[in-house]
């Protein structure tokens, strides 16, 4: 059986290692009428991360991608991760660690659009954190605003919503998620900041679908899960593993990551790839 794993947005975005570049031809080459030198379109590797451990985690995504293609891992995403991916603007598929991987879709515990309908797509696609608020994206349809609202719901409010599930358009999976809402609320409360709520929602999604693991490049979420599991009073059970890429490889008995197929400082002619 393959390991069933949800991948968060950071994994999907950072799997893209190349970025567009233009290489100018020598001075003796043909020039445009404005005097500029003719250039060749191509790719270069993105600047490596200053944190060496974080870069090793990202490099390990090529091994993760191979394992997905070999069907040793069954990878999943869902709508909120797709939205976060759009914010990251991944556009280059060459040298993408997940190129050729099948990413299965699962549904979120509760679909945000059931309760937050808006014509302001900027707000709907925003995370809603401090950076967005500074830019004026402070509506009620963004991710964090919705998650903050979910955290305010007590049992009485949840019961009323469930009673009116058909009017709202909730399916049975979402109704069961509402009955399990205290799981999400407790982890949000323990996370320390609403900036962390989207990651907690990813974890809740994986938990609701009974997946084996959540793959993340983040260090905060694994620490949060460990802290909650080690509390003297166990208020909730967390059944899935939260793994960074190198932790995942270790769990699968892989001690060495695959080589990264793109070199630092090298120009790759787009038309010769």
Query: Could you give the CA distance from residue 208 to residue 240 in angstroms, rounded to a whole number?
Result: 10
Query: Could you give the CA distance from residue 194 to residue 151 in angstroms, rounded to a whole number?
Result: 10
DSSP H helices, 170-244, are 172-179, 181-191, 197-208, 220-229
pLDDT of residue 129: 66
Phi, psi of 108, rounded to the nearest 5 degrees: -70, 160
Which value, to the nearest 10 degrees, does the dihedral of the CA atoms of residues 118, 123, 125, 128 take?
-130
pLDDT of residue 99: 93
- From the CB of residue 86, how many other CB atoms can be counted at a distance below 10 Å? 12
pLDDT of residue 272: 64
Give the predicted TM-score (pTM) of the model.
Answer: 0.89
Alpha-carbon torsion 140, 144, 148, 153, what sign?
positive
pLDDT of residue 81: 86
Q: Classify residue 214 as exposed, middle or buried by CB count within 10 Å of its CB (0-12, 13-18, 19+).
A: buried
Cβ proximity of 190 and 227 under 8 Å: yes
Pick the closest to residue 101 from 61, 64, 68, 67 (CA basis).
Answer: 68
Local confidence pLDDT in tens for the 273 residues of the chain: 899 999 999 999 999 999 888 887 666 555 556 666 667 788 999 999 999 999 999 999 999 999 999 999 999 999 888 887 776 555 678 899 999 999 999 999 999 989 987 766 677 767 766 776 666 666 777 888 999 999 999 999 999 999 999 999 999 999 999 999 999 999 999 999 999 999 999 999 999 999 999 999 999 999 999 999 999 888 889 999 999 999 999 999 999 999 999 999 899 987 666
Pick the closest to residue 95 from 22, 39, 44, 23 (CA basis).
Answer: 44
H/E stretch holding 148 reads helix 143-152
Query: Could you give the CA distance from residue 191 to residue 189 in angstroms, rounded to a whole number?
Result: 6
Long-range CB contacts (< 8 A, 24+ apart) of 222-231? Answer: 222/247, 224/187, 224/190, 224/191, 224/196, 224/200, 227/190, 228/186, 228/187, 228/190
pLDDT of residue 31: 59
Domain spans in the chain, listed from the N-terminal domain onward: 3-107+212-272
Query: Could you give the CA distance from residue 234 to residue 46 in angstroms, rounded to a whole number?
Result: 43
Q: At what angle do helices 52-59 and 61-69 cross, to 10 degrees?
A: 20
pLDDT of residue 142: 85
């Amino acid at each position: 059986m393959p390991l069933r794993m949800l991948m968060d947005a950071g994994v999907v975005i950072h799997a893209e290692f190349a970025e567009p570049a233009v290489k100018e031809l020598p001075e003796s080459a043909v020039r445009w009428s404005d005097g500029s030198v003719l250039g060749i379109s191509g790719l270069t590797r993105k600047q490596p991360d200053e944190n060496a451990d974080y870069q090793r985690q990202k490099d390990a995504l090529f091994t993760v991608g191979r394992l997905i293609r070999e069907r040793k891992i069954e990878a999943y995403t869902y709508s909120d991760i797709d939205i976060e991916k759009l914010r990251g603007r991944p556009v280059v598929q060459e040298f993408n660690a997940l190129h050729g991987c099948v990413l299965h879709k699962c549904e979120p515990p509760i679909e945000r659009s059931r309760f937050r309908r808006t014509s302001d797509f900027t707000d709907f696609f925003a995370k809603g954190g401090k950076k967005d608020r500074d830019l004026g994206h402070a509506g009620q349809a963004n991710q964090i605003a919705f998650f903050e609202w979910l955290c305010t719901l007590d049992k009485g409010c949840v019961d009323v919503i469930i009673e009116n599930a058909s009017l709202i358009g909730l399916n049975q999976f979402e109704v069961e998620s509402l009955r399990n809402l205290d799981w999400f609320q407790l982890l949000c409360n323990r996370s320390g900041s609403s900036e962390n709520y989207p990651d907690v929602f990813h974890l809740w999604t994986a938990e609701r679908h009974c997946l084996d693991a959540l793959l993340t490049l983040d260090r905060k979420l694994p620490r949060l899960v460990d802290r909650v599991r080690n509390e003297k009073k166990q208020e909730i059970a967390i059944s899935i593993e939260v793994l960074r890429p190198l932790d995942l490889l270790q769990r699968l008995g892989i001690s060495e990551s695959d080589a990264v197929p793109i070199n630092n400082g090298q120009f790759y002619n787009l038309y010769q790839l």
